[in-house]
Chains A and B, each alone.
Chain A
Amino acid sequence: MSNSKYYQLWTYMNAVAIIATLALLVVTAVFLYKESSLGGGRERLTGQAAFVAGSIGTEFIPLPVLEVISDLDPEGFPAPTVEPKTGAWKGGWVDLYGFLENRGDEETIPSREPALKSLLREDLRKQLPIGFSISYLRPTQPDPSPVAFVGLACAGCHSSRLPDRGPGGKLVYGAGNNALDLIGFFEAFRGLLIKRRYADVPALHATLKTARSITEGPDLDASVDPEAFEYVLSLSNVERARAQRTPPLHKLTTAQRLMVWYWIVGSRTAALSTLKKYDLPSTPSQLRSPAFNSTGPGRTKPFVTLVNSVLDLPARDNHGYSKIPAVFREGDRIWSQFDGSVRDHNTRSGLAAMTSGGSVHNLSGLGVADHVIEAASYTRTALVGPRWEQIFGQPSGGIPPNAGDDDESARLDATQRIGRDVYRKYCASCHGRPDPGRPNIWMTNHRDDRNFGKIFPAVNPATLPGAALSDWIGPLNPEEWELQHTDPERVAFRDSNRMPYILFTYFDQDHPHKSTREYFPLAHPLSVARDGIRNSGGYVSGPIDSAFSRAPYLHNGSVPTLAQLINLEPRPERFLRGQNAYDRDGVGLGNLPGPGGPKALYWMFDASQPGNLKVGHHYPWAPGDPKRNADELKALLAYLKSL
């Protein structure tokens, strides 16, 4: 070849390189334009709508996949039925994991505001359980998606039907869902991501056709080719399941297919790469056993998620359980959380969203950060718990609810008035009291209630000389502390002392000692001041309005009823948790299955296990106290119903 031909070839090669690069740039530009035109976080809900239906960054599954999740994994996600009138899902996995089915225009407490009402009537959300959110945001990202993703709004955990989940149960926004097995649900979901089944269907291996966990994989049968196993969750399986529905569900667009595929690959990669940290997910049948799922229904392990995601540690020995709390009157709390560890309510809600899958990035974005702030504001200013008569249709005492107008004394019967005296003598100094003239106001600064909002230490103050917080209740003598302190696991786990500092740096934009790889360039809307987050070493004494709706009791949910909490009745060593019936006499969870589902859905709470201790808080009197007065306790219980 002559020099001129080499030169010509070289020229062509250069031209091709330039044209190809130009073409790639054009394709990229078109892709970016299309991507930027997607919805993303443009929905901005406020107040109650944000609390019930707003995305808080917990997106975990595309809606088209959730719609056929039972077809993919009927063991982990039994098929729900569809309510013909509303199209809502009920029963099946909705019931198994304790979610609340959507009952259309039902009565709620507080009443649904118009914005929420129309949203739940017209939106895709109408088919999903209460508190599920839909957004066009990708999981953990503040970025738009062509396919709808489903997450949990605040109401997903903080809503319940009272007195129980039966047909007469009233939906109460803000009450903790005491039947919700959140850990179990997400364990089953993690299982779905890595579950495999035999792709072929020869008769010889017919038994292997059902989905299996990877521990039951091909190694059990040497004749089975490991390559013949496929992941249960794949784009083709999702599309096949959608097509096989009667009538078929809508076909996915190319962009949606791409997004679902991307999500499957990313989620599975994450699930597989974190197996060493989390271990294999429990199988659905194991999830009802405390040996595999030590949290159980109605509770979470908030710090496990934070240790997992922020410290990148397994937290296997963390037993810091927390019941899913009611979030009424949060504005009355100077420090949030059971342990009074976070001062700012926005940060509190942001951290709660983080424990359910939010990230520092998507929690800063539009359509998420504003929902977190709006929902926090709703719990702070507008969300008030129900009164007894709203739930049960009759007064807690002998007086009809409207007899005494706003005067508390006029609404209480004689027994309750005695109980009020007992309350004021033994309880009000820590928990505050209702305003006698304005029953919707909780007094947080009564001159006699000096310990309101203070911390009762759960770690022994004698072991921390000089380290006591200024708002610890005190001075406490060792005997009193020994008798009254409750389970310490939530505040005394291994990483508890460094966790506040780590979380502070997590949201702090420029902290030089940032311990995670996360980098956030702006002032984070959920950031917290260093003195606004702490390990309190104990539990905060807060308001107990609507006390009857806060069952079970103590921060770890170890005491089912108020009668047991005040030691009118003995506290049980073991009791069933799940869809319990409501015990009106004892005021709290009954130890019997409620009308919600079969006994198989129940979980045994063992109060002797770490983190489950039912000890402490022996007010007014400990069980063996010679001063214990059963009549006064009964009167106190009657009064507590009225709060």
Chain B
Amino acid sequence: MPDLKYFVAVEPRPGWPSLVQGTLSFVPFGLGMVAAMAAAEYPFEVTPNLRLYRTIYSAWLALALLIPALGLFIIRGIGPSWWNAWRLYWTFSFLAYAVHLYYAWFGLFESQLPLVSVHPELYGVGKGATTLDLVVAHQSPPIAYSNLVVSALWAIDTLLSWLIPGERGGRGGWALLVERWVTWAWVLASAVVSSVYFPKHLVSVVLGSAIVASIVLSLLVRISISILGNTAPAVAPNHVSAKKVRS
């Protein structure tokens, strides 16, 4: 029987990420974001549409960064490096998602409001409809509100990951751990459902599948560690554990 503590127990030893970790997470994010914004200018598609394709490409980038982020979450307790790696990918995937959300909310939906205000019947909404009404009409209430909740949770959790260095053993206590697991599960479900269950493009299906694969892989690693009892992989030299900081 695997030791379940490895699935929930995370020692508060985040420290600061190493430069290499920063490079490995920030550079893909940065270059990916530049590519996502610039690619929309180029007519890869039948008809270019900046706001739409920036929405799509930034979503792809968020999915791509979620592949390590969601997987690393499961094994973030191995050591400070893993925890930091998770935090970095979690943060940058959220930033990519925030750009996606910005273009979707303001670029696609809110930009139509002047037309919606004159012809609400064409969009299936009532008079005086807001951006939220438009989003709900398009996505259906369960999906729209779920997306809003997961966006808020993800933002809060990302912030907390930088403000509170640890989970069960830290200042956040069990509440933080629960919040983190709920957020992780909700983000995971949203990402997989939107990319695999409601696929718009082969790329999103591939990315969604890769997320599932990364989860499976991480679980296997975690289970094998719990069975073998090896919980102390090498830690990068510039990491200072939270214990040391406190002492």
Contact = CB atoms under 8 A, between A and B. Distances in A.
Given A143-B50, A516-B46, A523-B124, A14 B112 contact: no
Given A18-B22, A18-B23, A266-B43, A366 B33 contact: no
A266 B47 CA distance: 11
Contacts of B23: 14, 17-18
Nearest to A517: B46
Contacts of A141: 47-50
B138 interface: yes
Nearest to A138: B48
A14 B34 contact: no
B242 to A, nearest CB: 24
Contact of B112 (A44, A366, A518): A366
A491 interface: no
Interface string B111-150: 1101100110011100000000010011000000000000
A143 B41 CA distance: 10
Contacts of A243: none
Contact of B200 (A362, A365, A519): A519
Interface string B24-56: 001100110110011001010111111110010
Given A14-B20, A25-B30, A359-B47, A366 B114 contact: yes
Contacts, number: 102
Interface in A319-377: 346, 359-362, 364-366, 369-370, 373
Given A14-B19, A21-B26, A525-B122, A360 B114 contact: no
Nearest to B99: A32
Interface residues of B, number: 39
B105 interface: no
Given A15-B19, A18-B22, A522-B123, A143 B49 contact: yes
Contacts of A364: 112
A578 to B, nearest CB: 35
Contacts of A516: 46
Given A141-B50, A143-B50, A361-B49, A28 B37 contact: yes
Contacts of B115: 366, 369-370, 525
B7 interface: no
B108 interface: yes
B6 interface: no
A199 interface: no
The main secondary structure of chain B at its interface with chain A is helix
A373 B33 CA distance: 36
Nearest to B41: A262
A11 B238 CA distance: 12
Nearest to B237: A7
A142 B49 contact: yes
A440 interface: no
Contacts of B122: 346, 523, 525, 527
B109 interface: yes
A532 to B, nearest CB: 13
Contacts of B37: 28, 31-32
B119 A525 contact: yes
Nearest to A522: B138
A24 interface: yes
A14 B22 CA distance: 8
Contacts of B124: 523
Contact of B34 (A25, A44, A359, A373): A25
**Which 6 A/B pairs are nearest by Cβ-Cβ distance?**
A21-B30, A361-B49, A14-B23, A359-B47, A143-B50, A525-B122
Given A18-B19, A18-B27, A521-B108, 16 more contacts: A14-B22, A21-B27, A21-B31, A21-B34, A28-B37, A28-B38, A142-B49, A143-B50, A270-B43, A366-B111, A518-B47, A519-B201, A520-B52, A521-B52, A521-B138, A525-B115
